[in-house]
């Protein structure tokens, strides 16, 4: 075949890059046009098959995202034409221009924001909202999502299928809610955007990339859009808080991984941090503090502001960090918040005090709990226990960068490796 004798070096990579960068936008546009998630997914999959055949041979087109949209649209129309039961839908879809919505779509014209409101509809089970968002908007495979949620792939496939069926059978609209419905929906969307960002930043479902930059950027972009949409409703400090939290976390990304190994906050080269993102995040945090309507995202953003305000780890105001964690725990009394507070307490009162708290938390399936115990035990000189805790953390870690860092830490312990 020609592809074996005449190849284009950028072709295969261009397909992968386009899928990462354009998947959510292209799929959301197809869903908006055809009103059918399964049809849109199938059409995009068929377009990707064509891209994998053509681009490695001829090179990527000038506008890869536009090419995928056009090709997927033709595939969808071809399928509708073949299925006689969809004659009416085909006639309607064929009349719709690329820039004309099939139905009223709400106060903004961003297909991806509409898609996330669809995925976050109250009629869907909470555990299915994030999974469906990651599948449709983030382009993650079912296997990657299952890995991130620590459930079997078949279980996750069933969740996603049920969510899509619910959208179809309940006629859940593909639009941003109208102004009167928006306040009750924003909190759910914020929670899902936060988890999408975390999945990108932690990349727990992928061994290939320690950070999914595309997911992080998309979550930030959508949070900015949500901020504009919710603006007419008055101040939305939790929206601002989430945006600040994302920006201050994203600002540290350039220093977070080096040579395929995780670099912890205290070890990062802070000259690599993005000063512009930090400044914007700090402005948002100050605005939230002025409103004095604290919520979990605002407090988390304030904690990150304290960390990013320190030019050197030794300058970190740990007393303020502990006070903020006290406030966060009052708002969100979860074991993970308690663990993170204990890490801060260790900097003030020593690892022995922190370990008492950490050992009392029901987080034995969470790799970060084992990693936290390992570090505290190491600092206390309990080497054998620390090594066992590192081993447990390595076995549960979500990606190779974390595994590499944990392995390196374990191997610095005195005694047998």
One-character DSSP codes across 245-309: HHHHHHTTGGGTEETTEE--GGGS-GGGS-HHHHHHHHHHHHHHHHHT---HHHHHHHHHHHHHH
| Residue 183, helix vs strand vs coil | helix
pTM of the model: 0.81
- Tell me: pLDDT of 391 over 60: yes
Contact 69, 34 (CB under 8 A): no
Distance between CA atoms of residues 203 and 211, nearest Å: 5
Distance between CA atoms of residues 124 and 414, nearest Å: 51
Distance between CA atoms of residues 212 and 22, nearest Å: 14
pLDDT of residue 208: 52
Helix axes 126-136, 11-34, angle to 10 degrees: 130
Contact 31, 41 (CB under 8 A): no
* pLDDT tens per residue across span 255-313: 998 888 889 999 999 999 999 999 999 999 999 999 999 999 999 999 999 999 999 99
DSSP, res 177: P
pLDDT above 90: percentage of residues in the chain: 48
pLDDT of residue 95: 45
pLDDT-derived band at 97, boundaries 50, 70, 90: very low
pLDDT-derived band at 318, boundaries 50, 70, 90: very high
* pLDDT tens per residue across span 334-390: 999 999 999 999 999 999 999 999 999 999 999 999 999 999 999 999 999 999 999
CA 189 to chain centre: 12
Point out which residues pair with 262 in neighbouring strands.
257
Point out which residues pair with 257 in neighbouring strands.
262
The pair phi, psi for residue 257, each rounded to 5°, is -130, 135
Sign of CA dihedral 9, 15, 20, 25: positive
| Residue 345, helix vs strand vs coil | helix
Contact 183, 233 (CB under 8 A): yes
CA 129 to chain centre: 13
Helix axes 183-202, 126-136, angle to 10 degrees: 60
- Tell me: pLDDT of 106 over 50: no
C-alpha R_g of the chain: 24
The pair phi, psi for residue 109, each rounded to 5°, is -110, 30
Q: Give the highest mean pLDDT range of 58-67, 193-202, 262-271, 321-330.
A: 321-330
- Please give the domain boundaries of the chain with CATH numbers for all domains: 2-95 (1.10.1740)
For 194, residues 6+ apart whose C-beta sits below 8 A from its C-beta are 219, 242, 245, 246, 297
- Helix-strand-coil split of the chain, %, nearest 5: 70, 0, 25
Contact 374, 386 (CB under 8 A): yes
Any idea what the Cα angle at residue 308 is, between residues 332 and 318, rounded to 5°? 60
pLDDT-derived band at 103, boundaries 50, 70, 90: very low
């Amino acid at each position: 075949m020609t592809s074996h004798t005449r190849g284009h070096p950028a072709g295969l990579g261009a397909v992968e890059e386009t899928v990462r960068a354009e998947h959510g936008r292209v799929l959301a546009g197809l869903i908006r046009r055809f009103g059918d998630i399964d049809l849109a997914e199938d059409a995009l999959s068929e377009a990707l098959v064509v891209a994998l055949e053509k681009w490695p041979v001829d090179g990527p087109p000038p506008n890869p995202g536009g090419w995928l949209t056009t090709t997927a649209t033709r595939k969808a129309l071809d399928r509708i034409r073949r299925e006689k039961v969809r004659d009416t839908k085909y006639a309607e879809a064929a009349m719709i221009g690329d820039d004309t919505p099939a139905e009223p779509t709400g106060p903004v014209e961003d297909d991806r924001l509409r898609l996330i409101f669809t995925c976050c509809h109250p009629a869907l089970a909470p555990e299915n909202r994030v999974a469906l968002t990651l599948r449709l908007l983030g382009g993650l495979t079912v296997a990657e999502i299952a890995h991130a949620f620590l459930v079997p792939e078949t279980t996750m496939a069933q969740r996603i299928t049920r969510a899509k069926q619910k959208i179809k059978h309940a006629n859940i609209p593909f639009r941003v809610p109208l102004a009167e419905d928006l306040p009750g929906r924003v909190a759910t969307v914020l929670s899902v955007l936060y988890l999408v960002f975390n999945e990108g930043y932690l990349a727990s479902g992928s061994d290939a990339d320690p950070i999914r930059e595309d997911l992080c950027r998309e979550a930030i972009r959508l949070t900015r859009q949500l901020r504009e949409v919710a603006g007419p409703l008055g101040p939305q400090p939790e929206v601002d808080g989430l945006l600040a939290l994302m920006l201050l976390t994203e600002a540290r990304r350039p220093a977070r991984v080096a040579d395929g190994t995780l670099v912890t906050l205290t070890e990062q080269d802070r000259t690599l941090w993005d000063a512009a993102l930090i400044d914007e995040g700090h402005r948002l945090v100050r605005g939230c503090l002025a409103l004095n309507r604290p919520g979990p995202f605002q407090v988390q953003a304030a904690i990150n502001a304290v960390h990013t305000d320190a030019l050197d780890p030794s300058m970190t105001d740990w007393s303020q960090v502990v006070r903020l964690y006290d406030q966060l725990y009052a708002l969100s009394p979860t074991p993970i918040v308690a663990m993170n507070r204990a890490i801060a307490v260790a900097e003030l009162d020593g690892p022995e005090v922190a370990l008492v708290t950490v050992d009392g938390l029901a987080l034995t399936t969470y790799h970060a709990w084992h990693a936290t115990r390992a570090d505290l035990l190491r600092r206390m000189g309990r080497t054998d226990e620390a090594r066992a805790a590192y081993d447990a953390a390595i076995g549960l870690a979500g990606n190779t960068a974390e595994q590499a860092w944990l392995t390196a830490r374990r191997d610095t312990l005195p005694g047998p490796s």
